[in-house]
Chain A
Amino acid sequence: MTKQSIQTIKMGLMAFSLFALVACSSSGDTDESGAMGSEGSSSSSSSGSTARTNPGSTSGQLSQQEIRAQNALRQTVFYFDFDIAEFKASDRETLSYHARDLAANSSKRIRLEGHADERGTREYNLALGERRANSVLNYLIVNGASRSQIEVVSYGEERPAQQGQSENAYGRNRRVEVVAR
């Protein structure tokens, strides 16, 4: 992908970001949004107490942009289509926030863990998991992260997120996880 086309995509994504935020916070059927929900409720209760003890202050309030970034950074698992090594276009904006976060915090270190479903041979899946992690790695670097901040490892099909032979399990196992180090 050329630098120019990435710029174009980024601008497009910025335009969509508000819409994406609304769509993201209203979808309640995925596990990631489930995790967001639980974290969101705990943060709203703490901001509620902040409001009581310190009324009128605006220092504790987050801008739309910051909320958007925080929500994006809470998504740490990115799912892939069968036989496909490139991350989904719908994850680009979220990954852009991860890249910006790494660029802004140069001491931050992450590990990208690539995984595959169990179909196909183990060695091929090990290589495929690495390619998936690399597709995320390359995007993060192009968008400002430093290579030295990121370690990549593939577990292939050795660490499934969900046991079983269902399409649902396979879909949850084809993933890249962003793990803080």
Chain B
Amino acid sequence: MNLSKALHSFLAGTLCLWSIAANAELSIQITQGVDNPIPIAVVPFSWQGTGVLSEDVSQIVMNDLEQVGEFLALSRSNMLSLPSDESQVYYRDWRILAQDYLLVGKIDRTPGSQLVQVQYEFFDINREMKLAGEVLTGSVTQLRDIAHEISNVVFEQVTGTRGAFTTEIMYVVAEYVNPELTYFRLEKSDYDGQRAQVLLESVEPIMSPSWSPTGRDVAYVSFETDLPRIYIQNIATGDRRQITNYPNLNSSPEWSPDGTKLAMVLSKDGSPDIYVQDLTTNQLIQVTDHPLIDTEPSWTADSRSIVFMSERTGQPQIYQIELGASSFDVERLTYDCFQCLNAQFLPDGVNLVHVRRETRQDPNYQIAVLNIETLRIITLTSTSLDESPSVAPNGSMVMYGTKFNGRGVLDAVSIDGTVKFRLPSTQGDVREPAWSPFLN
């Protein structure tokens, strides 16, 4: 358990530049799940201390597992027994209920301190064996973090994929007041929309948040000077600096995976081109040079190439260029769409998530995945204004912005398109999700 994380979160919340009370509360709705979810029993964790705990740890774990769609949690009222450790577990009780997995646990006050310790144990019912178990210690306010840690373990034990339940998201909220006044906020929350905090508020647009690979900083575009300029802000302290002031458009900051560079779009020479700024030396390198629009850079995992959108053949298509190559030496990645935009590779380096408009006649924009080896395309979404896809660090899900009932919402879809969930906002239009890297 990374105890400093909650402290970071706390500081980020209190030191944001414009502190405001209200922010958009996001809460998950599952809109589509898999056909044969894995049955799992998550027994309510027993609490040995006095008073009522502020968080229901086992309920948070159940929510985590159900939200990603692959699990179906057994209702508590159907449980035949409520074990809290291995000595109380009878596999037969759970086999009768057709459960594949069982999670039990107990929470104790740590003697002589304000901390609590959470002991959990995770069992495979069919093989009648314990798969995992440990004791996690933290303050009462960290129970939610501890619950997400446990979800990570369960998810990895069952699927073999690292869980992303302790990750966070950043997004932009626009709250329209009247034609002259809209509040723009950069916010951060848990991956499931809980514990939202405001990092920046402005009456001018905020765009394009991009996490640094350490998760400590964010780069974004703010129009606070009346012009779009790129800023970097420390998430914990709120310290920030403006890093570009070139003529015309400064946009689309994207941190390189090795953390040393920032890709960006500048139109200082007339039309938008891709540039890379070295964050140590501040040296600026021009990567593309074309009189038509080049924008939306993203990095390959080795930090050596950039994927971007260009209009050079008439309509937006996706290209790739190696840093240091001639600006003409680009490889085209997409062909059979009227417009393909805003692309990034999954961690596998083969599948390319992008925004897709199939035909000129049908102006619907959807999230799709192109396998650049097999050229197979899977369209993941079925709404019409989908944009800003951001991939979970374990590559399992894509979060994106779309419109629902006329309002901006964040949706997420599994990478095979089978599972969807939505984080509706109670306030304003939510857009431009940026999924954090692994934070611990």
Mark out the residues of chain A between 20 and 48 whose CB falls within 8 Å of any chain B CB in the assembled complex: none
Could you tell me if B223 and A123 are in contact, using CB atoms closer than 8 angstroms? no
Could you tell me if A124 and B403 are in contact, using CB atoms closer than 8 angstroms? no
Instruction: Write the chain A residue with the least CB distance to B182.
Output: A159
Residues on the A chain within 8 Å of B248, using CB: 130, 152
Task: Confirm or deny: B324 has a beta carbon within 8 angstroms of a beta carbon on chain A.
Answer: no
> Count of chain A residues with Cβ under 8 Å from any Cβ of B?
24
Task: Confirm or deny: A119 has a beta carbon within 8 angstroms of a beta carbon on chain B.
Answer: yes
Instruction: Write the chain A residue with the least CB distance to B293.
Output: A127
Instruction: Write the chain A residue with the least CB distance to B360.
Output: A83
- Interface-located stretch among A9-17, A89-97, A161-169: A161-169
Against A, the Cβ 8 Å flags (1 = close, 0 = not) of B410-431 are: 0000000000000000000001
Q: B residues bordering A, Cβ < 8 Å?
A: 174, 176, 179, 182, 205, 207-208, 223, 226-228, 248-249, 251-252, 265, 267, 271-272, 293, 295-296, 309, 316, 339, 341-342, 355, 357, 363, 365, 385, 387-388, 403, 406, 431-432
Could you tell me if B341 and A126 are in contact, using CB atoms closer than 8 angstroms? no
Among the listed A124, A127, A165, which residue makes an inter-chain contact with B406, where contact means beta carbons less than 8 Å apart? A165
Against B, the Cβ 8 Å flags (1 = close, 0 = not) of A99-131 are: 000000000000000000011111110111011
Residues on the B chain within 8 Å of A80, using CB: none
28 A-B pairs with CB atoms under 8 Å apart are: A120-B365, A121-B296, A121-B309, A121-B341, A121-B355, A121-B388, A122-B207, A123-B207, A123-B251, A123-B252, A123-B296, A124-B293, A124-B295, A124-B296, A124-B309, A126-B249, A127-B251, A127-B293, A128-B293, A130-B248, A130-B267, A131-B271, A152-B248, A156-B207, A158-B207, A163-B176, A163-B406, A164-B406
Q: A119-B363, A123-B252 are in contact. Are A153 and B226 (CB under 8 A)?
A: yes
Could you tell me if B265 and A123 are in contact, using CB atoms closer than 8 angstroms? yes
Could you tell me if B205 and A123 are in contact, using CB atoms closer than 8 angstroms? no
- Return A163 CB to nearest CB of chain B, in Å: 6
- Return A172 CB to nearest CB of chain B, in Å: 11
Could you tell me if B432 and A120 are in contact, using CB atoms closer than 8 angstroms? no
- Return B239 CB to nearest CB of chain A, in Å: 25
Could you tell me if A120 and B293 are in contact, using CB atoms closer than 8 angstroms? no
